[in-house]
């Protein structure tokens, strides 16, 4: 079944009253990425607060600088972090993500 016929069948079910619109159009939930998880945690912080990440937990024990760079780049793609000034630094064996301020 292609996507058009799938949508058409869902619209028909809504018209017939078998389902409401929100139930009919629910798809498979997308998996949460680690960058999205970090972005939401960062968005909840107040200015000056930070949290630490253990790279070993993500299998990146030896390459902390590269992992910090990937976190920096991964946070850039999320809307909840777009206007947040942040710093991502390596502190010993941990990576610190700190909310520095806002752009506006």
Domain extent, residue 16, equals 1-30
Q: Where are the beta strands (DSSP E) in the chain?
A: 50-53, 84-91, 94-102
Number of domains in the chain: 2
Domain shared by 50 and 85, yes or no: yes
> Is the pTM above the cut of 0.75?
no
Q: 17-31 pLDDT, tens per residue? A: 655 545 544 555 556
Mean of pLDDT values over 66-88: 89
Domain shared by 73 and 90, yes or no: yes
Q: How far apart are CA 70 and CA 90, in angstroms?
A: 12
């Amino acid at each position: 079944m292609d996507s058009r016929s799938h949508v058409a069948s869902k619209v028909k079910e809504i018209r017939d009253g078998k389902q409401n619109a929100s139930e009919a159009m629910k798809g498979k939930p997308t998996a949460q990425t680690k960058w999205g998880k970090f972005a939401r945690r960062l968005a909840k912080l107040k200015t000056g607060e930070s949290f630490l990440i253990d790279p070993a937990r993500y299998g990146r024990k030896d390459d902390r600088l590269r992992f910090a760079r990937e976190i920096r780049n991964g946070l850039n793609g999320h809307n909840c972090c777009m206007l947040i000034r942040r710093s991502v630094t390596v502190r010993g064996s941990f990576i610190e993500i700190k909310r520095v301020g806002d752009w506006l």
